Amino acid sequence: MAAWKALPHRLVAFAGGPAPRAFSLSCASATPLTAEQLVKKIRTERQQQQEKPQDEVPEDPVKKRVRQLKQFTQQLQRVHPNVLAKALKRGMVFQNTDIVVINKPYGIPVHGGPKVKTCITDVLPILAKKLFGMKAEPLHLCHRLDKETTGLMVLARNEDVAQQIHEFFRTRKVEKTYWAVCVGKPEPAEGLVDIPIVEKEVESGQHHFKMTLAPKYRISPENGKMSKIRQDRDAEIAVTRYRTLSNWSSGSLVELQPITGVKHQLRVHLAFGLGCPILGDHKYSHWNKLAPQKLPPSALKKLGLVQAKARHLPLHLHACKLILPNLHGSEEKKISLVCKPPHFFNLAVERLKLEKPQLEEES
């Protein structure tokens, strides 16, 4: 106790408490600070530190855009359902008494899951209320898009319409058109890929599953003869029509029309069937491993990237056009819808010197 009384009075902030450390020599020799003054001093110093300009080298604009897109997609997955519903309403493409068509943003899953915090399904009741009032029936999903795919997505205003449109998709009466930026050039430039697809376990160091081709025939490497392969019982028929719209030495803009609707069909047919994986498709750029897509040096140069940053490239697959049959039986009055690609898609097309045609609705 005697030692405590012997301490200089100017270091005692309040009676009965331990002596705080002096912030500086001037502080130690000046009038003692009260607790409130100390708090204000700490806050001021922190604010000045945050506002202090940093002497950093200007960042490459392309790398900055890649980082911003990654941060944006992560924020989208954590966004409040009300905020997502408001964004979907703002980007709505079409609505009538039967359906609502939205422009699905990148990075938002359609359905929930163990690691999913926000998905399209969660916000359908909120979106319906924002569009049609508080007593509106929740909107219904008619089909789905992958989390990384952008573009046209149809929602029904009631269960009967949802069933009708779902049947249109199942019986292949809906005409769907996608655009994809691909690595490489399809050979031939236009054609039909008719190869069944099956999901298989990948036997490698990283345990995972992928969709892959299950061809009906194979060519013998010894004599070049074609022989029939025993079909996998789980394989599904998968047919894709494709057409190259524009190409460059390391990339192509390809138009795709899926005749069937197998999981990851377009990605698998392009990557494993034509040898031209979609730009940013890290899952299907390799078969036996999970690794970032390997891009040719010419593509990296055009995109302004280094290979180490390629892992942040988003999937460049966009549902740009949709033609629905008339819901009330008229063959003449089909619903034709178009949707422009997102900014990152257009930026890649521009940097790769690809020519993008105008999207036009059918008359």
Q: Supply the residues annotated as catalytic.
A: 146
Whose CA is closest to 143, among 116, 112, 121, 118? 121
Show the tokens assigned to 39: 């708090």
Strands (E), the chain: 92-95, 99-104, 140-141, 150-156, 175-183, 190-194, 197-202, 208-213, 217-219, 226-228, 239-248, 251-258, 317-324, 335-338
Give the span between the Cα atoms of 8 and 5, in whole angstroms.
8
245 in Cβ contact with 356 (< 8 Å): yes
Which of 169, 78, 175 lies closest to 119, judged by CA?
Answer: 78
Judge whether 193 and 182 are in contact, CB under 8 Å.
no
Q: Which residues fall within 8 angstroms of residue 192, CB to CB, at 6 or more apart?
A: 239, 240, 241, 242
Tokens linked to 197: 């697809």
Q: How far apart are CA 137 and CA 126, in angstroms?
A: 10
Structure tokens at 324: 């629905």
DSSP string, 123-154: HHHHHHHHHH-TTPPPPEE-S---TT-EEEEE
Rounded to whole angstroms, the Cα distance separating 300 from 182 reads: 13
What gap in Å lies between CA 348 and CA 68, rounded to an integer? 15
DSSP state of 294: P
Q: Give the position of tokens 């055009």.
A: 302
Residue 355, token pair as written in the block: 């020519």
